[in-house]
Structure 1
Amino acid sequence: MTITPRLVAKYPIPDRDGARTFVDPTGPVPRLEVRGAGSLRLYDLREQAELTAEFPAPSPDRWSMEWTAPDLSFAVFGTATEYVAVARDGTTLWKQPYGTWDVGRWGYLDFSTTGAASRPAAGDSSAGGADQDLRIWLRLPSGLPDSTLILTLDAEGTVLARSVLPCGGYERFVSLLWDENDEVCGVTVSGGRAAALTHYEARWHSGAIVLGGQLPQDRGALLWSEREYLGMDAGNARCMSVDRRGRDVSWHSLPTYQVTASLGLGDFPAPGTGDCSVHNAPYISSSSSGFVDDDTALVALYNPYDEAAVYMFGRDGWREHSHWLADPATGALHGRIEYPMAEVDNVTLVGDGTWITEEWDAFYRWRR
């Protein structure tokens, strides 16, 4: 059974020949980031793409990562050698060098507000009122083995505190956890040779982050050591995971993580037949599958890259992927999505019943 989706909006990509693009679905409105040679531009994706902010890039340095302040007053670029904060008019507000450290892999920056009742939602530009002071938290190399340096800055870039945490180190990603009052409550360490996710208690005390004990792994942590996490529904009642080899997806009730429904490769048509005619040895992708809304999930089937076709016959090794809708409550397939264009690949799930796909010159927003 095929499902023809309804086109909700088309968003042409500006400067497609020279720009990198990224869709951030986490805020109240999905946002398109356009990373051109000279600037970072942010668009809110509504009925049309609306330009909300533009930040000139620090010249002549290229950048590999960027973070924007909650009120979009400035952006911080991670260049080859330093963090650089830039205002909308191109003024450099502050810099923090880190040498040749690979910020693209291990760099981290976050924002919080003091005096806030709660942490602002991602993409919410209403934060930063008169009774709130912005705090910037960024990671730098500590120069010590198995340690992490976190600097706390104000909006002007003045260093308010230096916290050396006895965890992380080079080739580990370190991030902070926050409570409902926007206070530091924990530290997460992941990556490197030790693939497991580690959580530590933490608190702000006497002008520094103080690390507590390591938290025991709960059922969820053990589950994610074996499977890939694909997200949670809006009501926080159910989450979705995929086997690391792409053999099945499962839905789990929260907070117990008990499996309530599953969908395996054997539940799809046989490879090379019917709606799976484009597949030879499909697997379920962790990068494109997840919740469309609380009652619908999208499951993406991918083909392995066909190296033999490339090296032996000179053919393109890319083969068409397929997207399917399923019921999270039962695991039953609704059918394959049939787009009006061929070779649809990348999918961004917004969570409101829509999803966004990318073509060369535009993004397309769909609804069932």
Structure 2
Amino acid sequence: MTITPQLVATYPIPDRGNGAQTCLDPTGPVPRFEVRSARSLRIYELQEQAELLAEFPAPNPNPWGRQWTAPDLSFTVFATEEAYVAVTRDGTRLWSRPYGTWEAHRWGDVDFSGGSSADGSAGGGSPAGGSSVGGSDRDLRIWLRMPSGLPDATRILTLDAAGTVLGESLLPCGGYERYVSLLWDENDEVAGVSVSGEGVAQTHYEARWESGALVLGRQVPQQQGAQLPGDRYYLGIDSTNTRCMTADRRGRDLTWHSLPDYRVTATLALSDFPAPGTGDCSVHNAPYISSRSGFVDDDTVIVTLSNTYDEAAVLRFGEDRWREHSHWLADPATGAVHGRLEYPMREVDNVMPVGDGTWITEEWEALYRWRR
């Protein structure tokens, strides 16, 4: 069966014609949307309309790789070709930290602790273990990953808001071509370090902030069966933190797991959809389940079927019948498919579930927010 979703809001994308890049963050109480142009970074809050929260001028006319914004939106740290550069809303450079010939756009990381967010709550940038408020004094701290020069070590600088170095730590883990992030406990203190990378299982270490440095502790043993296999994508967790969702990397199935033991509770296989070319799957000839899927709310997930572009199919059937993707709603408790979403427009591409019963799709000129 097909399901006609209800359009909740439309958010035009500014500067799209000038090559602006976009990024959607659905993790907060209100989803945010970033628009990166050659001139600036703009952050919008997506409510009934897109409301501009902050704009930060680019530190130079050259492209930057990544950026991280302080919890109170007072400044953004840009990863330029040469350095981390902190820039305020009026374009003032607060500080700069060169990192040399290192792929900061890929392996670099910045986290914040202490201070206050724009809504008055404690700041934090690491979702892995709660808010990242590393210190009971609540003073803003910035945690920069820097190149260590060693294949199996991670260097982290801890700065205050003005860029003054509060501590420097060399951790005997991670290293080049590994993703390294800090973990935080329920008391808003540094609790650990997580290391992962292609072909390497995610590893957690205990850690603490002591006498101006991070001190690495023992490796945390993983419960047997409490780790995802390497051939699966992690696609999110429900609001109760008791169930997560994963996808087979080859697009064969979605699976739901209980937490913290990762026991399989339900599975949705590609074979559970109508056969390609029949019924609601008549829009595809060789679909696979895409990682662009996730929780719409605790009782519903959105599933994306993708299909490699086939020029012959387009010429034979036309673009109205053949599609590169389709969206479906399903039940995470049982894996049962509710039906395919039929939008009131010819084509809908990228999808991002918000978690409040709505999801957002992105087209070239605008974002669209939907609910069932």
In structure 1, the partner of 2:107 is 106
Q: CA deviation at 1:304?
A: 3.0
In structure 2, the partner of 1:43 is 44
Work out the CA distance in 1 between the residues paired with 2:343 and 2:216: 50
Q: CA deviation at 1:280?
A: 1.7
In structure 2, the partner of 1:160 is 166
SS of residue in 1 equivalent to 2:280: helix
Work out the CA distance in 2 between the residues paired with 1:355 and 1:205: 43
Instruction: With the length of structure 2 as denominator, give the TM-score of the two structures.
Output: 0.90
In structure 1, the partner of 2:130 is none
Aligned residues: 357
Q: How does 1:124-203 map to 2 (within 5 A)?
A: 132-192=138-198, 194-203=199-208
Q: CA deviation at 1:341?
A: 1.4
Q: Does 1:340 align with 2:344?
A: yes
Q: CA deviation at 1:45?
A: 0.3
Work out the CA distance in 1 between the residues paired with 2:299 and 2:125: 24
Task: Point out the more displaced range, 154-163 or 241-250.
Answer: 241-250
- Over 3 Å counting, the alpha-carbon distance change for 1:306 and 1:165 in structure 2 is farther
Q: How does 1:275-290 map to 2 (within 5 A)?
A: 275-286=280-291, 288-290=292-294
Work out the CA distance in 2 between the residues paired with 1:226 and 1:119: 36
In structure 2, the partner of 1:353 is 357
Q: Which runs of 4+ in 1 moved over 6 A?
A: 307-310
Structure 2 gaps, min length 5: 127-132
Q: CA deviation at 1:281?
A: 1.7
Q: CA deviation at 1:42?
A: 0.5
SS of residue in 2 equivalent to 1:139: strand
Work out the CA distance in 2 between the residues paired with 1:335 and 1:31: 29
2:228 aligned to which of 223, 227, 232: 223
In structure 2, the partner of 1:97 is 98
Q: Does 1:322 align with 2:323?
A: no
Work out the CA distance in 1 between the residues paired with 2:102 and 2:257: 39
- Over 3 Å counting, the alpha-carbon distance change for 1:122 and 1:9 in structure 2 is farther
SS of residue in 1 equivalent to 2:346: coil
Instruction: With the length of structure 1 as denominator, give the TM-score of the two structures.
Output: 0.91
Work out the CA distance in 1 between the residues paired with 2:9 and 2:85: 35
Structure 1 gaps, min length 5: none
Letter in 2 for 1:7: L
Contact 2:113 2:138 in 1 (8 A): no
Contact 2:191 2:207 in 1 (8 A): yes
Identity of aligned residues (%): 72
| 1:290-346 CA distance string (max 9 Å, x none) | 100011011111113549989xxxx99x94201100111111111000011122110
In structure 2, the partner of 1:12 is 12
Q: CA deviation at 1:28?
A: 1.1
